[in-house]
Structure 1
Amino acid sequence: MEERKVDVAIIGSGTAGLNAMGRVKRAEKDFVLINGGEPGTTCARVGCMPSKAIIQVAEDFHRRSLFVREGIEGGEQLKMDIPEALEHTRDLRDNFVDRVLSNSTDHLSEDVFIQQYARFVEPGVVELEDGQRIRAEKFVIATGSTPIVPEAWKAFGDRIVTTDEFFELEDLPASMAVIGLGVIGLELGQAIARLGVKVTGIDLSENIGGITDPEVNKAAIEVIGKEFPLWLGQGAEITEEPDGRLRVTAGENSVVVDKIFASLGRRPNLDRLGLDKLGIALDERGIPAYNPNTMQIGDHPLFLAGDVNADRPILHEAGDEGKIAGYNAGHDEIRAFQRKTPLAIVFSDPNIISVGSRFADLEADSFKVGEMKIAPVGRALIMGKNRGTIRVYADKQSGRLLGAEMVAPRGENLAHLLAWCIQKEMTVGELIQMPFYHPVMEEALQAALTSLYHQVEAKNAGPIAELISID
């Protein structure tokens, strides 16, 4: 049987795999990049980029509801051509994918970029679909993830839609149940509701969008719940109606819909790899134990990176993990890297944000909370988006900023400012010494930080502290 030897084999050509490849090339190691299925990143094909395209279309169309208030005539006459909007989204999606490929795998020879599935047959050796074997000193596993669909639901065929199918739809149904109100469920659920689909949102959890702060969660439910009903705290059951439509029941609630958007999370693409051949145990999620600072699986010459580990399924984190895995696969000595401040954004309207430590992660009585409601914020009022709340957390004694959760317009920008400050280990006192323009959304953050400053023990020395203490 034909066998080829390389220094490093990278399995998966998504964001993590491509970033790993960059580090392996920099280390001047001989490598192959193996990819089964569609090339291109999840983000570009079915994730963050096409979803933002349809979200933008929906938001632009939704703005017409403010036209009368603003004195713009004829807004109510505007119509939405759904097939055209979906084609526009696909055109942008294809452009994003082409850009990824043209800047990465399009430049690799067939000997280096192998478009086949691979499976471990013994330690250090994978076998491809055509029978060829690749022996490598180290492997980077960056095989990504797949949407979860319960086995019983598969009998309903194309009436169950995941992100893998959503962007291929040529039209939207009249009604849809969105089951799972995490990032994707909220983003696309709100978008299609704004495009005219009758949406019902359902989640087993009482929280939406990954929020753990009860006050922020309450605000988010209030805002999103005005656009479509939210059934929380109950699992969903699906049955087929005589006319072929689907009945979704959650507790005492029931609705009949044309299609269901299943956004129940994603499972790691590890089942094809044959990790059992290497004696590697998997946890209840189907993931092997690994070090998040080195990406190494136990003491094996294997490195796990990107969505496949289900830790931080976000593009910039996948990129960082790929770089860490690629660096360690390309060097003899295993090096641990400090991870960046956690940052998560739901591109709903308003944005739902968590940055740094989440509320549920903090020890009771060790931190203080600063809060600002969005309702009276001048810039938000002008935009017609004065909904939500900002909550920021700091160490009670030192005043060091720890994290934040919020539902706020332009929260994506506020979150970045906070992430940078948390990573620099700044105190609340230092933050409120920074300039804040008027009128901007950052003033809402300033108010939350000022509220927080009054509660922590550490105070700034000098005139600033005196000024802040003025009522």
Structure 2
Amino acid sequence: MEKQVDVAIIGAGSAGLFALGQVRKATDSYVLIDGGELGTTCARVGCMPSKAVIQVAEDFHRRTLFGRMGIEGDDALSLNAADAMEHVRDLRDVFVDKVLTNSTDNMGEEFIEGRARFISPTELQVGEDRIRARAVVIATGSRPVVPEPWRAFGDRIITTDDLFELESLPASMAVIGLGTIGLEMGQAMARMGVDVTGIDQLDHIAGLQDPEVQKVAVEIIGKEFPLWLGAGAELTEDNGSLRVSAGGQSVQVERVLAAMGRRPNVEDLDLENLGIELDERGLPPYDPATMQVGNLPVFIAGDVTGELAILHEAAIEGRIAGFNAARREPEGFARQTPLAINYCDPNIAVVGRAWNELDAERTAVGEVKLGPLGRALIMGRNKGMMRVYADREDGRLLGASLIAPRGEHIAHQLAWSIQQGLTVFDLLRMPFYHPSIEEGLQSALYDLAGKIERQPDLPVELRRA
């Protein structure tokens, strides 16, 4: 079969589906192509099942506070890991079914099942079929990285593609890579009774660059399971188990969770046929404002870019790519304020400019430690720190790093404020309810406001009617 369309989208994951939403508004001449497992990475093996595991782990961990609250009987509580993981899979299946019901299940001939490869920038081969398109969107996603030598250890090495399929949990596990998924799952497994060791060749966790927040984060998380930082891991056989060594330390474990990032799925696309130079990862250059690859009628979006493997970033990239693919002249769009949240407990978040992206001479920093915060004390979760950054001259918000209970909500508030160009004084004029976790942010903002050179002529809390 040979088919002519306006737009061909390769990949039915999050970015591809968001691109499809834009394409449908402009034309009814399109195809969506995918030869892998459907249902999006987020729903199948990413955001959603991981948060289900985290919720189970947090609920079970909460029992450790019962004694101090006068709640008796906590010794009778136990976790049935098999039932817990079945619950996670049940929720996962609901999320996946919802995605499929609202996408490929109802597409008909516009959905082509198969793996696409480029013949030219506007020609695709899918099995025996040839697709000619005026524009193409590449949204093929990514997969977990597993070092090739480790594959010899078989199913003792797992990734997030395997973790949620476990019917029982191992007695011990090494989590190698303490970015978002490694830290989240490492803490969750530890709270569910697994003897966890966390390892990362970097000297920080969760992408934190701020040295003060990093120090607090390592101290808090390190009380739940050991963190070995600053050295790469080596694996060897050890009487049917695995011996994991790093930085002069060693531990014997049943399983290893490889959480060292993800690799873009580009190997089978034959991108060399685009006629454009590829980088060492096999990826073409693209404009992040238009998502256009070079000057070609080709656009790229989502995890396959090798940049930010975050769903809301895939969504905005997919929308930009789909919008431009359906039109003759690409248009540039402003990107959203960077926002990264780790759902460990307490939440870790980096908003706006990270610490290493700031101009030290022009930046003021406000901070608060959450030990004495009333609402956090009541919750039994008074651990953490918030650091907020602003332009030293006028107080315009630039970014923040934090580890805080319910920090996901604080991070959103700060991201929205930064994107609107607000100053520290603008935020202090907002209402802060008592008692709340937000009062911790208010304290950090007061600390920050006192370090700004251009002060308002009114008390910072007041605004003229």
| Fold match (TM-score > 0.5) | yes
1:120 to 118, 121, 130: 118
> Structure 1 stretches of 5 or more lacking a match?
none
Aligned-residue CA RMSD (Å): 1.1
Check if 1:448 corresponds to 2:407: no
**Counterparts in 2 of 1:48-447, with a 5 A limit?**
48-109=47-108, 111-129=109-127, 131-241=128-238, 243-447=239-443
Distance 1:312 1:416 in 2: 17
Letter paired with 1:406: L
* Deviation, structure 1 residue 142: 0.3
Distance 2:18 2:121 in 1: 24
Contact 1:8-1:29 at 8 Å conserved across structures: no
Distance 1:466 1:169 in 2: 56
Distance 1:39 1:85 in 2: 24
Distance 2:85 2:318 in 1: 32
Letter paired with 2:276: I
Letter paired with 1:112: E
1:17 maps to 16
Contact 2:428-2:460 at 8 Å conserved across structures: no
Contact 1:459-1:465 at 8 Å conserved across structures: no
Deviates most, 278-287 or 421-430: 278-287
* Deviation, structure 1 residue 317: 1.1
Letter paired with 1:232: L
Distance 2:460 2:424 in 1: 13
Distance 1:24 1:77 in 2: 56
1:39 maps to 38
Letter paired with 1:204: Q
What are the Cα deviations for residues 222-274 of structure 1, in whole angstroms up to 9, with x where unaligned? Answer: 00000000000000000011x21000000210001000000000000011100
Distance 2:158 2:373 in 1: 39
What are the Cα deviations for residues 407-453 of structure 1, in whole angstroms up to 9, with x where unaligned? Answer: 00000000011011101100111111111111100000000000000
For these two proteins, the number of residue pairs brought into alignment is 463
Q: Secondary structure at the match of 2:364?
A: strand
Identical-pair percentage: 60
* Deviation, structure 1 residue 284: 2.8
* Deviation, structure 1 residue 463: 4.0
* Deviation, structure 1 residue 334: 0.7
* Deviation, structure 1 residue 465: 6.9
> Structure 2 stretches of 5 or more lacking a match?
none
TM-score norm. by structure 2 comes to: 0.98
* Deviation, structure 1 residue 316: 1.0
* Deviation, structure 1 residue 124: 1.2
What are the Cα deviations for residues 302-352 of structure 1, in whole angstroms up to 9, with x where unaligned? Answer: 101011112221111111111100000001111001111111100000000
* Deviation, structure 1 residue 29: 4.2
1:26 maps to 25
Contact 2:390-2:399 at 8 Å conserved across structures: yes
Q: Secondary structure at the match of 1:365?
A: helix
Q: 1:216 to 1:301 in 2, by over 3 A?
A: same
Letter paired with 2:18: N
Distance 1:244 1:450 in 2: 57
